[in-house]
C-alpha cells in the first residue's frame, strides 16, 4: 500500500503549489482520515494553465497523428504495468471496493488504447459540387484548447474518456477533477508526463470557488471546448456559461435508469445481471439501475432472489480485497442515500433487507425496498447508492410509460424474451438500452444520453468527433 500520493497542480509542464498556498483535504471515506492536502488553484493558476495550453495548441495540433497515437499507447502500457497502484489510489480517495477499482482501472486505460488507434484514422471527405465547378474538401481539425471537468464516481474512466479523444484529436487540455478525487487525476496526468506528452499540452487545476473560476476559464478566448461529466444541475449552469463565448459543449449528465422486467424474463439470467446493473461501483454510477419495474407475475420470486443475494454482500474497506461493497464517497453522500430510504419508507415502501448506515466510515448496506411508488422521491431521484427500489406492474405499456416519465434519458435496461425486449427497447427514451445485460460500458460504444442526460457522445469513433471541427476548403474542379 502506498502512502505517498502526488498532490499538486500541473501547469505548463511543472508540478506546483497553489498561488496563495491554500489546500483542501482529500479524505479516505472508509475511515475519515486525511490522505493528502491538495493545492487550491487560484484564478491566476487557472489562467496560467489556459495560457500554457494555448501556447502548446498549435504545436500539438501539428504533431503527426502517429506520434500522438504512440504517446497514448505508451500511457496505456504504463497504466497496465501499474494497474494495482492505479486501483489503490481510487480505493483510498473514492472508497470503492477493490474489484470496482480494478474494473475501473482496466476500463479507464482502454480509452488510451482505443483512441491511440483512432488518432490515425481521423476521417475527412471529398465531393464534387452538383454544378461540377468545384471540389469540396472537408477537413477535420482539432477544435482547440479543451476544458475537461469530471465527477468523483469514476475518477479515472470519466477523465480518460475525455483526455484520450482530445489528445488524439490534437487538442491541448486542462483537466479539472472533482474535489473528492484529485489524486487519481494527478496520477494519470503524471503518467502522461512520464510517457512524454509535451509541456503545456496537459494541465491540471482544482479551483476554489469552482463555479466562478471555471467561468473565467471558459471566458478566455483560447478555450473552445468544454467536455463535462457530472450532474444535470451543474451541466445546465455550465451551458449558460458556454453561451457567453459560444464555447462548444459536450455534456454527460445525470441519469435515472429504469429496469423493466418483462413477463417472459428468465430470472436465472435476469437476477445476476440486474445485480450488476445495480451494484457496480456500489450504485454510484450514472448508468446504475435506479427504478425496477417488475411484472407482477415474477415480482415475488424476483424479490426473493435479489434479497438473498443482497443480504450476503460483504461491506467494508476496499483495501480488504474480499469486500464486495465499499464506502460511498463521503458521509454526506451516505446520509443522502439514507434519507432517500427513509422517505421511501414514509411513503409506504418496505425494507426487505439492509437499510442501515455504518457507525464509522461512509458505508451503507446493500438494501432492497418493495412497494415503492412510481413518482415517489426515491423513484424520481438518482439514488447513487446500493439501494434496489422495486415497483410492481401489470401492463407492459404502463411499465414503458413509467420508464419514460422522467427528464433523464441516459440508460435503461430491459429483461425478457429477446424479440419482445427489443420492441420495448425501441420505445424507451434513452441514449443507451441494455437488453438482458447488466453492464454496457465499452470504449468501442458511443456513450451518452438524450433529454436532460446530455449532449454528445463519448467513446467509439463518435467520441473523437467531439474534439474536431469541420473545415471546408473549396478548390477549383
Ligand atoms: P457534480 O455536478 O456535483 O460535479 C461534477 C464536476 O463539476 C466536479 O468536478 C465538480 O467540482 C464540478 N463543479 C461543481 N460545481 C460546478 C460549477 N458551478 N461550475 C463548474 N464546475 C462545477 O457531480 P458529482 O456529484 O461529482 O457526480 C455525480 C453526478 O455525475 C451524477 O449526477 C451522475 O449521474 C453524473 N455522472 C454522469 C455520467 C455520464 O456519463 N452521463 C458519468 C458519471 C457521473
pLDDT of residue 1: 66
For 9-253+452-476, CATH number out of 3.30.70.240, 3.40.605.10, 3.30.1490.190, 3.30.70.3190 equals 3.40.605.10
Contacts by 329-332, CB closer than 8 A, 24 or more apart: 329/29, 329/94, 329/95, 329/152, 329/153, 329/180, 329/181, 329/284, 329/362, 330/27, 330/29, 330/180, 330/362, 331/29, 331/32, 331/362
Which residue among 230, 233, 241, 448 is best mutated to probe the pocket of ligand 1, counting the most ligand atoms within 8 A of its Cβ? 230
Q: ipTM > 0.95?
A: yes
pLDDT of residue 4: 79
Distance 419 CA to ligand 1 centre (A): 36
pLDDT of residue 308: 98
41 has pLDDT over 80: yes
309 has pLDDT over 70: yes
Active site residues: 252, 286
3 has pLDDT over 70: no
pLDDT of residue 402: 98
112 has pLDDT over 80: yes
Q: What is the pLDDT of residues 411-457, one digit of tens each?
A: 999 999 999 999 999 999 999 999 999 999 999 999 999 999 999 99
Distance 315 CA to ligand 1 centre (A): 26
Mean pLDDT over each residue of the chain, to the nearest integer = 98
pLDDT of residue 2: 64
405 has pLDDT over 90: yes
pTM attached to this predicted model: 0.98
Distance 180 CA to ligand 1 centre (A): 11
Mean pLDDT of 134-149: 98
Fold observed for domain 257-442 = Aldehyde Dehydrogenase; Chain A, domain 2 (3.40.309)
Q: What is the pLDDT of residues 70-79, one digit of tens each?
A: 999 999 999 9
173 has pLDDT over 70: yes
Residue nearest atom 16 of ligand 1, based on CA coordinates: 211
Pocket of ligand 1 (CB under 6 A): 149-154, 158, 176-179, 210-211, 214, 229-231, 234, 237-238, 252-255, 286, 382, 410, 449, 454
Mean pLDDT of 160-189: 98
Q: What is the pLDDT of residues 213-250, one digit of tens each?
A: 999 999 999 999 999 999 999 999 999 999 999 999 99
Residue nearest atom 12 of ligand 1, based on CA coordinates: 178
Mean pLDDT of 9-36: 98
Which residue among 107, 207, 234, 251 is best mutated to probe the pocket of ligand 1, counting the most ligand atoms within 8 A of its Cβ? 234
pLDDT of residue 461: 96
Domain boundaries, the chain: 9-253+452-476, 257-442
Distance 175 CA to ligand 1 centre (A): 13
Amino acid at each position: 500500500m502506498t502512502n505517498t500520493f502526488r498532490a499538486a497542480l500541473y501547469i505548463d509542464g511543472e508540478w506546483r503549489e497553489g498561488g496563495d498556498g491554500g489546500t483542501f483535504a482529500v479524505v479516505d471515506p472508509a475511515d475519515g482520515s486525511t490522505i493528502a492536502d491538495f493545492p487550491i488553484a487560484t484564478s491566476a493558476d487557472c489562467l496560467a494553465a489556459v495560457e500554457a495550453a494555448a501556447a502548446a495548441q498549435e504545436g500539438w495540433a501539428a504533431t503527426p497523428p502517429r506520434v500522438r497515437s504512440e504517446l497514448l499507447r505508451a500511457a496505456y502500457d504504463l497504466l497496465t504495468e501499474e494497474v494495482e497502484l492505479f486501483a489503490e489510489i481510487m480505493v483510498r480517495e473514492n472508497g470503492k471496493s477493490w474489484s470496482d477499482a480494478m474494473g475501473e482501472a482496466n476500463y479507464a486505460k482502454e480509452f488510451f488504447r482505443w483512441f491511440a488507434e483512432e488518432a490515425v484514422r481521423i476521417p475527412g471527405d471529398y465531393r464534387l459540387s452538383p454544378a461540377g465547378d468545384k471540389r469540396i474538401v472537408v477537413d477535420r481539425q482539432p477544435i482547440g484548447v479543451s476544458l475537461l471537468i469530471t465527477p468523483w464516481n469514476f475518477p479515472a474512466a470519466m477523465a480518460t474518456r475525455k483526455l484520450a479523444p482530445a489528445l488524439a484529436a490534437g487538442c491541448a487540455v486542462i483537466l479539472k477533477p472533482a474535489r473528492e478525487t484529485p489524486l487519481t487525476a494527478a496520477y494519470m496526468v503524471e503518467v502522461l508526463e512520464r510517457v512524454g506528452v509535451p509541456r503545456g499540452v496537459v494541465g491540471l487545476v482544482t479551483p476554489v470557488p469552482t463555479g466562478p473560476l471555471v467561468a473565467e476559464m471558459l471566458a478566455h478566448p483560447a478555450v473552445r471546448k468544454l467536455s463535462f461529466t457530472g450532474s444535470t444541475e451543474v451541466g445546465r449552469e455550465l451551458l449558460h456559461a458556454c453561451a457567453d463565448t459560444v464555447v462548444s459543449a459536450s455534456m454527460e449528465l445525470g441519469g435515472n435508469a429504469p429496469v423493466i422486467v418483462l413477463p417472459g424474463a428468465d430470472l436465472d439470467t435476469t437476477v445476476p445481471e440486474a445485480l450488476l446493473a445495480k451494484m457496480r461501483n456500489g450504485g454510484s454510477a450514472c448508468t446504475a439501475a435506479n427504478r425496477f419495474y417488475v411484472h407482477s407475475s415474477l415480482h415475488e420470486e424476483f424479490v426473493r432472489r435479489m434479497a438473498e443475494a443482497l443480504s450476503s454482500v460483504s461491506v467494508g474497506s476496499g483495501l480488504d480485497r474480499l469486500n464486495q461493497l465499499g464506502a460511498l464517497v463521503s458521509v454526506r453522500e451516505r446520509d443522502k442515500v439514507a434519507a432517500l430510504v427513509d422517505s421511501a419508507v414514509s411513503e409506504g415502501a418496505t425494507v426487505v433487507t439492509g437499510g442501515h448506515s455504518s457507525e464509522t466510515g461512509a458505508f451503507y448496506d446493500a438494501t432492497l425496498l418493495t412497494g415503492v411508488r412510481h413518482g415517489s422521491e426515491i423513484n424520481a431521484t438518482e439514488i447513487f447508492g446500493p439501494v434496489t427500489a422495486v415497483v410492481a406492474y401489470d401492463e407492459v405499456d404502463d411499465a414503458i410509460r413509467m420508464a419514460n416519465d422522467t427528464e433523464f434519458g441516459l440508460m435503461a435496461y430491459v429483461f425478457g424474451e429477446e424479440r419482445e425486449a427489443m420492441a420495448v427497447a425501441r420505445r424507451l427514451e434513452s441514449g443507451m438500452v441494455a437488453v438482458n445485460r447488466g453492464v454496457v460500458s465499452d470504449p468501442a460504444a458511443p456513450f451518452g444520453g438524450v433529454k436532460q442526460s446530455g449532449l454528445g457522445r463519448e467513446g467509439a469513433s463518435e467520441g473523437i468527433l467531439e474534439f474536431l471541427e469541420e473545415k471546408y476548403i473549396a478548390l477549383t474542379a
